[in-house]
Each structure stands twice: as structure tokens, then as C-alpha cells.
Structure 1
């Protein structure tokens, strides 16, 4: 028999008559003689549990007029047995009990699981009030917190491997949760609107309201118009085909974290949601400006670029051949015009998911990619070999006679006679070249290598995609500026020297004199002498000849110079096509924008890689130049260096009587610290960028 430990002896004496008489009908007073004690507790399963029944709460409940034994039907006498069965709700609610037994909660309970939800866990115990009562745990405003007792319990969610832990906290931050719990809009859905009430089933059960094939109908109870649109879409049309798991509401909007579709975060994450099914399309989309900008702009909010649904539609996605599709022949220009005002039919020929590796479907893009890749690899192989042999020869000479090497290096850097090699205007142009180039690389390479952490870091540092794009355009303007200034300077020089192409005897134009000047030693155009110098230099690499002496310009300096013309033309024109696509689509097909992206991206990589490796080596990192050649900043060169490396130029100036024209006073000490600081900063940044580019390429190679 049950023996209460804390019941006063006088109460036990009062119960004796009832026990002795064997009374058949037990009254509530009989139970409350013990359970009305607020201090009565018992240890049950290691927990201290109160056995007190608040008569005030009981009286105001829906069961206030009932007897205790109506629910606790296995009590036959007082004191009762120590262990009792739970209150049996099924005696009255048999229809609900039948539903509950088929639910996930009921099934777990039938298996003996003590953690599963029971009637009292949701509705309460002795204080059950109607569901419509604001105080009810299952009133709509309270239901999420009631479900959270289990579904936000870390121990239970981990033990039962629940797919969505912390559901309540996620729901409260969703558009549904805020509408209901923050603003009190009871028309907003709560847990039971989506999952059911007593018949909750697991999501993989085909009868579940949140099963993949039923979720559209569940959401459609509230979103009627959208459900009708979805039913006519390519997704909705294939939903009945159980073999194809097409996208349904929660695939795009999630289950408990549903947010406003117009939010920046929703747009920023939309590509990955679509890509979960359309992985091949996502990969190609990420190679476009839209895709890269969307990925890099995620942490700062989605930029103003097209996401998947901006082109394909929202709930009404249809195949492109469907006349109602946003991408049908009749609608595609209007779809593009939503972002690109003034879009035309040619502009709409742009291929947003083109694969430049697909020769069969995109031959123009494929051959453009092959050409640029071949050019890039060829240049790096040829100059890589050239640089390796040069470095090897320098190391050989250094290791064999380091003393002479050091003395020569110091001698050429500390001469007592100095001559002008670059005039102030040329140094100013080089400053514009350096600053614009670094700005373009800093703002452009993160787009090419958008998948790296450093790309995201740089864009965050700059303030996001939109700021980076503006800075990139500014760098392009500086590029066109210095290129235009240089061409204008050359034009002025040609006008001033127009008499030099005339025959001294006849005073008429001489083609031979034009050729002599155009390919002479002061010209940057390649000549036969440059080829001879190249061959002589290669022989010196292998110890088969003397180190060649050069004139004013070396063959590798001419290559660098002409590479700027090539780069500005290729990168500049392709960049303008992408900058002003509507203008160029007036007379070019839309797929020319795709080609422009390939050309611009690969040529930019070639330029950055070449400058930060071969140009830096030829100019600064040769052993005889380390740590930096300052001539481009000072504009001057010592007589010793001219005799050591450019003896032909020195001898020619002597022969022409023009050496004193180039002689300068030694004013370098006044500002060399500032110039060197800029110089070290410039190519130090270049080396950092080179390291990041190499890292990004290795990541893609081994990914």
C-alpha cells in the first residue's frame, strides 16, 4: 500500500472510517485530503516532483466538474497503489487517441519511449483550458514555446537525431514567427498548421503534411495564389512523378527559417539553393560576373546583380520553350530589361550558363578559351625557361666569385657621374601604370578567384562588390589616361622630328630614313639587333659567349613595352564590352559578352602573372639588382652601370656628341627615401598578390 511520508497523523486517523467501510465511490475530497498539501513532494525517477493539486486551477479547467477517478480510473481505494497508470484521456477522446496512436509521438510512446510527448505535455495537467484560451499551452501564440520544450532541448534533439534542432528559436526569427509571436497576427502559421495536430507524422511518411509531395498543398492552404502558380510551373508539373524529387516550397524557402524573399540574404543564398538540384548550371553561373559578385557580396548583402529567379521566375518557372516562360523568345528581352534598361534582342543572346569547355554547343567560346589558354601557357613557359637560365647563370657567377660580384654591384650603384635615362614625364606615366595596374589587380583578381577566403576578405575590406566595381572602373580610366598621354607624347615627338625623315640633299620624304629611325636604337620597335642580342644572351647563359652589351633598350624591355599595347588593347576593349554591354550589343551578338569575359579574365591573369614574376625578376630581382632598381623612380643611371650593361648606348652618345645632353646633377639623395618607400610598397604588394593568385590556382587545381 502507498504510505505518504508527510501526511499528518490526524489525517490518517480521519481516513480510517473510509478505509474500514470499504466505500465503493471515492469523492474528490478523499483525494484532496492528501493532494491539497502544497508541500507534498516525492522522488520519481531521480527527480523531486510535487504531488500537490491546486484546487483553484482544477476548478477553472475544462475538467473542473469531473471527479478525479474519471481520469485516474485505476484508483479503487484510498490510500491507493504506489504506482498508477497515467490519466486515460482516450476514455473520452477516443477519436483523437486513434489519430495520436498513428502519429510519430504515439508510435514512440507505444514502443515504450518515455521522452515522447503525451497529452499532458502539450495541453497541461489539472489546469487544462480550452485551446482558444490565451492561457492554453497550445493556443496559437503559445504553441511554438510548448513544442520547444522538446524540440529545442539539446539532449533530446541529439539523442533522437532530429533533423532540425533549435526549431523554435529558428521559427521565432522567421517571417511566420515574427508575424505571429511579435505582432500577434494569428492568421500566421504556427507548428500545427504545417505539421498537423494529433496526427503528426515524420516528414518521410507519405501521409505527412510536410512530406515532399504534400508540402505544396500544406503551404497552399494560406498561399493560395502562389500554389496555383506553382502547380503550373515545371516543378509543380513533375511533382506527381515520385521518381523525380523536384523543388518544393521548403527547398527554396527552408522549413523553419523562412525569410522575406526581398531580403539581401535570401538573394545571396538563392544560387546555392537552386544549385542543390542544378549543380551544372550553378558552376557555369558562378563563372559569370553575376555569379561571382553574388558570392562575394553575400557578407555585405546581395549586390544588384541577377540571381537565378530574376531570369527564370519565382513560383512560375517554366521551360524556355513555353510561351509563358520569362525566357521565351517573346519575353526574354523584357526580362533582361528589368535590370538592363534598353536591352535589345542581341543583348538577350548573352549566354548566362555557357560552358566554354563545351566545344559542341559553344564553339566560339571554346576556341576563344583555347586561344587565351595557349597564349598564357606559352608565355609562361618561354619566359619561365628564360628566367631560369638567367638566374642559374647569375648564381653560378656569384658562387664562383662573390667578391667581384659584390664589388661590381656596389660600383654601378654608386657612381660619380649620372645620366638621364627616363625624363620626368616618363616617370610620371610609369607611376600611373603602377598604381592603376595594382588597383585593377586588387579589384579584379578577387572576381576571378571568388571561391577563396582572400577574395572575400579583399572585397569586405573595400566595402563590397559595388565599391570594388567602381574602383576597378577608376583604374581602367587611369589606364586609358596614361595610354592616351603616351600616344599623344609620341605624336608630338613625331611632329617635332618630321624633318628627320627627309633626305638632307633633296629635302623630300625618305622611306629609308623612316625605317632607320623606326627601327633604330632609340626606338621601342623590335629590330634585327634585338634578335642578335637575344641569341648572344642565351649563349652567355650557357657560358658559350661574353655577356652582351646593350643599347638604350634591351630586347626584354621592348617586349614589356609592346605587351602594354597588347594588354591595353585586349583587356581594355573586352573590359569596355562588359562595362557597356548595351552599347556594344547594338552591333555585336550577345555571346560576344561571353567571349569578352574569357579574354578579359585570362589576359588579366597573364598580365598580373607576368609582371609579378618575369618583369619583377628582370627589373628588380636579378642578383645584380637586388633589392630594387630605382632607375624608374630617379630617372638616372650611373656611368659605371652604362659601361657595365649598356656600353653600346654610352659609346653611341659619345660618337654622336650627345652624352652631355643626358648628364644630370646628383639630386637623388633629396628624395630617394620617399621614392624607395613607394617602390618597395608597390612591388611588395605585387608579390603578395602573386602569392594569393598562385594559392587560388592550386586550390582550384586540387579541389
Structure 2
């Protein structure tokens, strides 16, 4: 008879007797075999030992053996080996993250030596990550990771980071701070911008951390102002990052003779990227301190900067003032042009335009100031959310009020004619095609427009649509506490998205389309003053709106018309 079968049968019998003898927990049948330490001189296979005390004290102690070893059948188990535990059955999200990590990919590629869940967390003695003896507790990570990466951990322990961890500094980075935990990644092939911006800057870009540990507060900003930093932001895969100079794991202060940034080692460090580097080249500063004037190079650099800033402000300031005065003179000459006699906008239209233009500009500045608070837009709002929020809402009320005024205006005689002239027609479509032909094909005739051509009609109806849409979504956002009483919150969230992107669309349309016809068109440069007094020249009227009868337009003694 096969001895293995006999041995298995005896084990089952012993387990059954032990289980029957003491009516304890359901795991006793398992511990009848696995709770005994292997005999030193025993022959043949022995059950793996599990310390019952440690298991019951572990985080899984109350789950029971079969909650993890779900495929175990006591009737066949001694002769049938259980499958590896599937941690994902309970820890789905961490397991999925692990599969995409460096360890997970390595195991998937066939490297059975790559760390699995058990290598880091343990097996039957798993503890909470915050427990003192847990292998994944911060201060124990060097030991845990060192089981597979002993040389790396040796360097870390000798580094400034490792020494700080050993001294009990809670903010000191450990393995998972740089490489992450379940999503662990190797940074060997990481881009320079990732290492500098997402890894090192997390600590060294923190003013609180720098102040607490008396570290320079400008190391991140000065790095990104250097060529290396700018090249990294431009996407260069070869630009030096923080670790290229300071090292990855054995990070040491410049005073340490082993440090890669020690004066004695700078030539070798720079030479990794610059093969012809010499001692003079290596003394160039990456972290250029603009305020420091300690040595000769810093003094010279400081004064060159100061002189150039004076030259820049003086020269560009002179040019700006000169051209502003020149532009102002030309604009005033255009305003006083006696030939501007054709009235395109009456007083009512100009008031409505003023309300729309002023409220729109303020809404754009105050709206985008919330999205970009550190830009000049935020500065315009006094860097105050209270000022921005109140101002934005006041401007919104002005715009909506202007919309209602326009609604009443269209019932007047001038308003009815205005709307009638603004209605789209088939000619607008043919005019668009004719305009492109005129612009692209030399010798093609210029299309003839009525009082309002397709450019004005497109803009007008876009303003009508935009005002309604922005008013509706803005109202939902403003009074969200009221509206969410009887509608889903996601409607408010979608309104925020619509409000933001419609604002971008409207702003760009005004800059690209409207501003061209008001400022950049050579016919009206430097500015079309019709928004102020409603008048243009007969020449402009004839060029842009030849199909509108001149006799129907009020004029003011244009000498060319006499």
C-alpha cells in the first residue's frame, strides 16, 4: 500500500479525533495539523505550521481559515493541496492597483521572486498598517523592503532621509512616499518632470516643511527657473532632474565627502550628462539665489540682473507711453472726424450695448478669477473671494436686466425694425460662401450686405442664446440650495460645467470675432466709435452695408453728401 496514502489517512483520523474531542471553534480541525510545529527528524511531507496565537491576534483572526482558503475540503484536503489565497476576493481595489504596479507586472511576467501581498503584509500574522509590529508601518518599511532590496535600503539608511526616519522624524520620506504603496512604481524610467514635480517637490516645495527643518525655501522654484527645469517642463526626457544631481537613495548633504554634490565630486556628477565638464564648469549654480551676493559670481550676476531690469523697465516703459499717446491721438482724431455722420446706433441701442459690454467684461474677469486665482484676474478682484463673488453676481443682475430691457425694446418701432433686420435669411448663407470666395479667389466680387450682414446676425443671436443659457445655469448655481430641494444635485453640477465652457466660448468669440470688427478692421482702426456716439462715415456705410438705403439713415451735415 502506498505509504503517502496511509499517512494522509492517519492525519485525517487524528484531525477528526482531535476535533471531536473538544467542541471549540471551527478552525480547530485545521490547527490539529497546522498548529503543530514540524518534527525535526520526521520523514515525508508535513503540514505548514501556523501559530494559532498570532493568527487569532491578527487582523484576520476572526475570519476563520476557510474565509481565505475557500477551496479547502476537510474530506479531501490532506491529499489535495489548497490553491494560493486570492486576496482580491476581499481587497479588490488594492489588488487591482497592485496588478498595475511594478511588483504586479513583474509577477505577471513570470518573476515569482517579485513581492506579492504576503511578502509585504505577512501571511497568518497580518496586522493593521498602524500597528507597532506591522511590516508596512512607516518605520518598519526599510526592513520589509530590504528583504528584496538590501543594497537600496542600505543607501537609504545612510542618507539624510534614512537618518531622519531613524531619529523618529515623522515627515521623513520612506520608500512608499516616493514609490507609492500598492501602485508601486519604479522611477528609473520616469520622466524628469515627474521626478522633480511629483516626487521631490512634494516635500521640498512645501513652505511648512522647509520652515520646520530650516531648509532653503526656493529650491524647487529656482530649479524650474534653470535650464534643466525649463527643459523638463517642455517634456525633455533627458533633462537632469533633482535625483540626477542629488542622487536617488543615497541623498547626502553637500558637506559629506560621499555626496554627489560635494565640491570634490561635482565634475563627475556633471560629467554624467556633460562628458567634457571640468572643474570651472561644475561650479555653475543650478539653484541661482537672486538675493545672495556673497561671492564674486553672485555679485556680478546680481548687478547684471539689476541693471538689465532697469534697462527693460526704462526702455519698454518709454515705448509703451510713446505708443499709447500716439494711439490716443489717432483715436481722438477718429472720434472728431467730421465725416462720421451716419447714425448706426440710436441712444437706446447704445445704452443696451453699454450694459451688455460692461457686465460681460466684469463677468469674464470675475468668473475666470475663481478658476485662476493666482493670475492677474485674481489680482483684479483684490485677491478676495468676497469681492469676486459679490461683484460677479451684481454684474449678472446687470446683464439680465439689460436682457429684459432689450426684450421691451423690441416692441418699440425701432426695436421691431431692428429684430426684422436681424432675422436670418437664405441670403446670409450665400453671402458666407461669396465672402470666402472673395477672400480666397482673386478678382471675385465682394458680397453686398444689408443693414446687418451675417457677421452681425451670428453675433447677435449668439448673444441672445448665451445670455439665456448663462442666466439659467448661473441661477441654478447661485440658488442651488433652493433648487436641490426638488431636483437632483447632478443638474447643478452639469450647470457648472455648462456655465464654465459657455463662458470660454463666449469670451473667445468676442475676442476673435467682435474685437476684430471694433478694433482691428483697417476700416475702423484704431477703434469704431459707433458704440459711443452711434456714428460711422458714409464711406464705411457704403463699404460694409451698401444695400441699406442711405436716405433712410439720419446724417449730420456730411460735406461729402452735399
TM-score, with length taken from structure 1: 0.39
Larger Rg: 1
TM-score, with length taken from structure 2: 0.48
